Structure 1
Amino acid sequence: MHGQVLRSFPIVTLLSALPAPSRRDMIPPVKRPDGPEGQPTELKSYDEVYAELPLLHPTPRSWAELAASRLPEFLADHAVCEQQVAMYGLSLAGYYPDDAELVERAAALAAEEVQHFRRVVAILTKRGWPLGGRRKNVWAQSLRARIVLGREPMTKVDRLLFGALVEARSCERFTRLLEEIDDPEVVHLLADLGPAERRHWEMFYRLAGRNTDEQVLAARFQGWREFEADLARGLGTSPAVHG
């Protein structure tokens, strides 16, 4: 009921009431050298980042080449993804209003994702590139369909594990794309957002494990990881973030 009520309000109205993320919820900025381009430095390699993620199937480099060649489409889809994750964070707060820690973390996540959304929209607008509208994300829809509903507390665990994999895959995709692009502004954006997505997947997983046996959680997450890997093997044919 709470989730239904929450989702009935316009996203802008809901987000306007949220506080900005606190300093402890934000990632430190990527170090950059002095200079007009502001090119990020000290970035981890793709292999280093991938090794720290819970993913079982790497994105092929061919996807990054495709996304780099169709950057307006990638960024438009990226903006939609940021908006949808913000909405998902708010829906979690609506589903579990009595879980104070989850509500606080979900609200901070939503506020931060809106800031990411605004950054992407600013780039698109400045360049005269079209914004993306709502579109079908087969990967996300298929992954979300795996959530077992009506069986709390495991439904909550599933919702959090779903969020963890969405953020982990986004982190991996941003890092893969960084190998192929030389657009300083977009490099700057992805270098900032990739570590944020990593922090988010870790947050989701930690929240899922608060009241769940460690071995039970690991086994359940393994099932999610394998399912996501099967879905990911069919990706790589469009420049979308999860395409």
Structure 2
Amino acid sequence: MIEQLLQPINQFLLCQTPVAWVDEAKKSENLPVVLLDHLVCELKAAQSAMYLIRKYAVDKDSGDALLAWLKPFEDFTYRKQGDWKALADHEKLTKSMIPKSGAPYSQDLIDKMVLLIKEELHHFYQVLEIMEEYGIAYESVGSSRYARGMLRHVRTYEPAALIDKLICGAYIEARSCERFAVLAPHVDKRLNDFYVSLLRSEARHYQDYLTLAESIATSTSGEDITERVAFFGEVEADLISSSDDDFKFHSGVPV
């Protein structure tokens, strides 16, 4: 099953995770940064999906409901406010999203991104549970160059900007899936089981992003996204295979 999930992902990505990154990631002294950065990546994935829904797909009231949904998670992560165990009560969105009129892709974007947000917030909570089990206290970690390095190439006009953001999202999710898979054999059973459990949802997330990019390009501009997918594939592969002095979950080759 794992090999079936990974086959399209490994075909999509233009390079595999370097052995040097795996060697660094499996060191016991680096477990805190791996888990802390993974935690923040889950929240950032939810925030990115929320941004796309708010900007492109829903009315103001629905957008405000999304902000309220994520606020407790953001308060804990960025302002160190609240008890992490209480976040379990905030994992579900209680309001239906109302699509904007005149955007034919709104409902599809909402459906896929709301499900993604729910799963990312659940994973966020699961990482916190594991950190508690391992005695790893939460502390702030800086962002890596990875997502920023791809998003800097996003075009500045619509719908090209949306299409590029979705393609970037596909690569981020695919790389996350690939990293869970390469790291799983080198950790204890608790973490191995957790990483393997994430593979199915992460694999679907990458497919959802790519499907949205293709359908929105077709319905709005008629653009063939093949060249943009290839372009961002090269950017992503360079970030993963080049030297990086800031070790994180999505970092490049450790210096």
Q: TM-score range by the shorter chain?
A: 0.7 to 0.9
CA distance in 1, matches of 2:147, 2:240: 10
Aligned to 2:16: 58
CA distance in 2, matches of 1:121, 1:105: 25
Closer/same/farther in 2, CA of residues 189 and 59 from structure 1, 3 Å limit:
same
Matched, 1:167 2:126: no
Instruction: Select which of 69, 76, 87 maps to 2:47.
Output: 87
CA distance in 2, matches of 1:230, 1:119: 31
SS of corresponding position for 1:209: helix
Please say if residues 185 and 192 of structure 2, whose CA atoms lie closer than 8 Å, have aligned partners that are also in contact. Answer: no
Instruction: Select which of 186, 190, 196 maps to 1:185.
Output: 190
Please say if residues 146 and 250 of structure 2, whose CA atoms lie closer than 8 Å, have aligned partners that are also in contact. Answer: yes
Instruction: Give the partner amino acid of 1:232.
Output: I
Instruction: Select which of 100, 124, 139 maps to 2:146.
Output: 139
Aligned to 2:209: 204
Please say if residues 10 and 178 of structure 2, whose CA atoms lie closer than 8 Å, have aligned partners that are also in contact. Answer: no
Please say if residues 15 and 241 of structure 2, whose CA atoms lie closer than 8 Å, have aligned partners that are also in contact. Answer: yes
Number of equivalenced pairs: 199
Aligned to 1:71: 31
| Superposed displacement of residue 169, structure 1 | 0.8
Deviations along 1:153-193, one digit per CA (max 9) or x if unpaired, are 11110110010010011111111112322x11100110011
Unaligned runs of 5+ in 1: 1-41
SS of corresponding position for 1:241: coil
Matched, 1:106 2:106: no
Aligned to 2:249: 241
TM-score, structure 1 normalization: 0.75
CA distance in 2, matches of 1:232, 1:82: 19
Deviations along 1:1-29, one digit per CA (max 9) or x if unpaired, are xxxxxxxxxxxxxxxxxxxxxxxxxxxxx
Closer/same/farther in 2, CA of residues 147 and 112 from structure 1, 3 Å limit:
same
Deviations along 1:186-236, one digit per CA (max 9) or x if unpaired, are 001100112221110110000011143587211111111111111112256
Aligned to 2:79: none
SS of corresponding position for 2:225: helix
Please say if residues 10 and 16 of structure 2, whose CA atoms lie closer than 8 Å, have aligned partners that are also in contact. Answer: no
CA distance in 2, matches of 1:209, 1:231: 24
Unaligned runs of 5+ in 2: 58-99, 101-105
Please say if residues 150 and 236 of structure 2, whose CA atoms lie closer than 8 Å, have aligned partners that are also in contact. Answer: yes
Please say if residues 9 and 178 of structure 2, whose CA atoms lie closer than 8 Å, have aligned partners that are also in contact. Answer: no
SS of corresponding position for 1:210: helix
Aligned to 1:17: none
TM-score, structure 2 normalization: 0.72
Percentage of matched positions with identical amino acids: 28
Please say if residues 169 and 206 of structure 2, whose CA atoms lie closer than 8 Å, have aligned partners that are also in contact. Answer: yes
Matched, 1:216 2:224: yes
